[in-house]
Amino acid sequence: MTESLQAIARRLVEPGKGLLAADESSSTIKKRFDQIKLISTFDTRRDYREMLFRAKPAMSAYVSGVILYDETIRQSAADGTPLVELIKESGSIPGIKVDSGAKPLAGFPGETITEGLDGLGERLSEYYDLGARFAKWRGVIAIGKGLPTQEAIYANAHALARYAALCQAAGIVPIVEPEVLMDGVESSHTIDVCQAVTTDTLRIVFSELERARVDLTGMILKPNMVVPGKTSGQTVSAQEVAERTVAMFRDVVPASVPGIAFLSGGQTDEQATENLSAINQLPNLPWRITFSFGRALQAAALQAWGGKAENVGAGQIAFLHRCRMNSLAALGQWQPALEREAA
Ligand code: 5MM
């Protein structure tokens, strides 16, 4: 029986579970592998992702879905098992990044438009056949002098809405990711600026989603948290991040959206977890709020693995730890002492 969009969306934000964003494009995964001095090849990318997807205790207990890159959804483990099967065996849902990246927006220096709409309908049916039940598209909004422009926000929101409508027509749950960067054209902006720009962006995104007749009950929002720019020097508590982020959502995110799954955006692992936990401690949240982290779930595992077969177990333990911490955060139950205990 075909599972409804609503049922898939609800499974993605099941209490205490969240998403693993493992959809780094080839150029991004190369940058990650550079940090451990590992050459990025078809096989090393497979070995790395196989290590994560075979981390059964982490995957089964804490990971509701995995966002894959086009290469990965077609790849098999060293023993020939398709990686998609490993994900499904752990009870997690395979998903796919379907955008083809943020490209310069003509006429708007410093701003980008995410491409990938041409032929998307056909690609989505192929991905469905390959096992994907949800997809992801990331629009990127940069803060800078005079930026973002309304044109860039509208163009990206419009593309996100067209993508989301195509996904739903193909039986695939769209994850709608409008990311306001912590380090865009500049990174010295205050938390006030982040809040104003993110509010504006989300308002326009939801207005475009509604105009495109996207069913909000069959999608997941993947936003940034409201945080200061990376080099602002501003220190804010997790409580403040949480209050500002949730106040913004109450203003602009309809309660019919079943789930919100954050990106980590370059926050440290622990900051992202602490902020998520503070958010989930706030009362009367109409949405399930969880993680869809890339770096904040993978960085420690990547370091522990270091590209060596003998370190697969250590990489999986590091991955399990971050998954467990973020699961607790998704329930509002994370404590700093738990990080120290593990260390
Ligand atoms: C995993 O990174 C994704 C983007 O990859 P490309 O830039 O190579 O296309 C990214 O969309 C990711 O899914 C989200 O930003 C979440 O990752 P972080 O690291 O921000 O939690």
> In the chain, what are the domains?
5-342 (3.20.20.70)
What pLDDT score does 341 carry? 77
CB 8 within 8 Å of CB 92: no
Phi, psi of 82 (to 5 degrees): -55, 140
Options 50, 177, 179, 208, the catalytic residue = 177
Record the pTM. 0.98
**Which helix (H) or strand (E) element contains residue 179?**
strand 173-180
CA distances from 57 to 48, 51, 92, 301 (A): 17, 12, 12, 14
- Cβ of residue 28 lying under 6 Å from some atom of ligand 1: yes
The yes-or-no answer on residue 222 being catalytic is: yes
What pLDDT score does 217 carry? 98
- Spatial CA neighbour of 174 closest among 228, 265, 241, 97: 97
Q: Count CB neighbours of 259 within 10 A.
A: 24
List the residue whose alpha carbon is closest to atom 9 of ligand 1.
25
The SS3 assignment for 67 reads: strand
How far apart CA 102 and CA 34 sit, in angstroms, is 22
How far apart CA 198 and CA 182 sit, in angstroms, is 11
Six-digit token string for 128: 């469905």
How far apart CA 53 and CA 342 sit, in angstroms, is 22
CA distances from 275 to 48, 94, 183, 224, 237 (A): 28, 26, 18, 11, 8
Q: Which of 138, 163, 264, 291 to mutate to test the pocket of ligand 1 (most atoms within 8 A of CB)?
A: 138
- Cβ of residue 100 lying under 6 Å from some atom of ligand 1: no
The yes-or-no answer on residue 50 being catalytic is: no
- Cβ of residue 138 lying under 6 Å from some atom of ligand 1: yes
CB 91 within 8 Å of CB 38: no
What pLDDT score does 1 carry? 76
Instruction: Provide the greatest CA pair distance for the chain.
Output: 53
Q: b or e along 42-75 (b: 16 or more beta carbons within 10 Å of the residue's beta carbon)?
A: eeebbbbbbbbbbbeebbeebbbbbbbbbebbeb
Q: In tens digits, what is the pLDDT along the chain, a chain of 343 residues?
A: 799 999 999 999 999 999 999 999 999 999 999 999 999 999 999 999 999 999 999 999 999 999 999 999 999 999 999 999 999 999 999 999 999 999 999 999 999 999 999 999 999 999 999 999 999 999 999 999 999 999 999 999 999 999 999 999 999 999 999 999 999 899 999 999 999 999 999 999 999 999 999 999 999 999 999 999 999 999 999 999 999 999 999 999 999 999 999 999 999 999 999 999 999 999 999 999 999 999 999 999 999 999 999 999 999 999 999 999 999 999 999 999 999 876 6
List the residue whose alpha carbon is closest to atom 4 of ligand 1.
24
**What residue type is 264 in one-letter code?**
S
What pLDDT score does 343 carry? 60
